[in-house]
């Protein structure tokens, strides 16, 4: 708007509106025609860019929900196929604890805000709060893997607990039950791995840079292009154009960072990972508590 104000002050000093062949006015008319073509092209590309950004944001959200759903599948399968005794309950509770630790490590590996959960201090605090046992803490420290790969270790532990339960008779089920449980475990591993595939290749740098240049050129030229038709009204018009075009571009950039990994527009519309973790914690206990008491006639 400052440039638009300067244009409104300077141009009247050089042009002659009464002269139909005035070179300044003719130049502004030609400039306005080119700018309109540029505006049409920029609008199309910018809206498409925003749509691509939202698609990525939605894809990351869907992956988060899918990971949460697969761990809920573990809880339901175990709760409905476990015998009704203390050993079976302990097995289910151990798996539920592993699921809670798994979700904590998922977002510790993929987000900046929760990366601290991989530190020894955070792990010890998790032991004190009952999120994991001292035995689990020792086992994690003895693993010769990077902190980001602890997620896969938790999936393996969950599968091993399942195998032990089948072997000892704590879990009852045929080959279909075993196949379905292992299928969910492999699908969980695959969906977690998709996080990296999506976030590491969000959008080509050249594409984002090109859209930025187009918007900058459009808005920089707007005061000169709008003056010929609007004169003083070009000042608020340029402000409105800047608000919407730069706003759409900023919104697109923010949606390309769903987990707030960058320092751009910090904390605007990033996903609240804490909600995912709390819901996963609740889901880890939901199913075995739901199957804790059944009608007596159903237990034949």
Condensed to tens digits (0 to 9), the pLDDT of residues 91-142 reads 888 999 999 999 999 988 888 888 888 899 999 999 998 889 999 999 999 9
Over range 147-165, report the average pLDDT.
91
What pLDDT, on the 0 to 100 scale, is given for residue 137? Answer: 92
Q: What is the largest CA-CA distance in the chain?
A: 101
Reported confidence tier of residue 213, pLDDT bands at 50, 70, 90: very high
Which residues sit opposite 82 in a β-bridge? Answer: 171
For residue 300, pLDDT over 70 is answered with no
Over range 147-172, report the average pLDDT.
90
Over range 187-195, report the average pLDDT.
89
What pLDDT, on the 0 to 100 scale, is given for residue 269? Answer: 59
What pLDDT, on the 0 to 100 scale, is given for residue 200? Answer: 80
Rounded Cα distance between 102 and 184, Å, is 15
Reported confidence tier of residue 34, pLDDT bands at 50, 70, 90: confident
Q: Phi, psi (5° rounding) for residue 171?
A: -110, 140
Residues in Cβ contact with 30 at an 8 Å cutoff, skipping those fewer than 6 apart: none
Over range 218-246, report the average pLDDT.
77
Q: Which residue has the higher pLDDT, 112 or 297?
A: 112
Nearest to 42 by CA among 210, 240, 195, 174: 210
**Is 171 in a helix, a strand, or coil?**
strand
* Contact of 8 with 237, CB cutoff 8 Å: no
Rounded Cα distance between 112 and 270, Å, is 12
Over range 267-286, report the average pLDDT.
79
Rounded Cα distance between 300 and 297, Å, is 6
Residues in Cβ contact with 111 at an 8 Å cutoff, skipping those fewer than 6 apart: 259, 260, 261, 273
Q: Phi, psi (5° rounding) for residue 143?
A: -70, 135
> Sign of dihedral through CA atoms 154, 155, 158, 161?
negative
Rounded Cα distance between 40 and 208, Å, is 18
Share above pLDDT 90 across residues of the chain, in percent, rounded to a whole number: 22
Over range 67-78, report the average pLDDT.
88
Rounded Cα distance between 79 and 91, Å, is 10
Please state, rounded to an integer, the average pLDDT across all residues of the chain. 82
Here the tokens at position 176 are 């279909």
């Amino acid at each position: 708007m400052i440039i638009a104000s300067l244009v409104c002050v300077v141009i009247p000093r050089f042009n002659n509106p009464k002269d139909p062949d005035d070179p300044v006015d003719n130049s502004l008319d030609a400039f306005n025609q080119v700018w309109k073509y540029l505006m049409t092209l920029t609008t199309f590309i910018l809206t498409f860019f925003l749509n691509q950004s939202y698609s990525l944001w939605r894809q990351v959200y869907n992956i988060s929900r899918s990971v949460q759903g697969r761990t809920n599948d573990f809880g339901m399968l175990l709760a409905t196929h476990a015998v009704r005794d203390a050993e079976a309950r302990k097995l289910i509770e151990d798996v539920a604890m592993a699921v809670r630790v798994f979700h904590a490590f998922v977002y510790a590996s993929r987000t900046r805000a929760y990366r601290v959960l991989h530190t020894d201090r955070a792990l010890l605090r998790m032991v004190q709060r009952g999120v994991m046992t001292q035995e689990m803490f020792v086992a994690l420290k003895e693993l010769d893997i990077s902190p980001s790969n602890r997620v896969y270790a938790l999936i393996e532990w969950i599968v091993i607990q399942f195998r032990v339960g089948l072997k000892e008779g704590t879990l009852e089920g045929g080959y279909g039950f075993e196949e379905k449980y292992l299928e969910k475990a492999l699908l969980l591993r695959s969906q977690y791995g998709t996080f990296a595939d999506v976030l590491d290749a969000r959008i080509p740098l050249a594409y984002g840079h090109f859209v930025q240049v187009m918007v900058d050129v459009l808005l920089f030229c707007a005061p000169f292009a709008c003056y010929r038709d609007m004169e003083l009204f070009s000042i608020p018009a340029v402000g409105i154009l800047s608000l919407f075009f730069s706003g759409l571009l900023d919104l697109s950039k923010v949606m390309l960072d769903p987990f707030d990994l960058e320092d751009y527009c910090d904390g605007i519309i990033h996903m609240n990972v804490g909600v995912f973790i709390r819901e996963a914690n609740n889901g880890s206990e939901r199913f075995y508590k739901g199957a804790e008491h059944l009608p007596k006639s159903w237990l034949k």
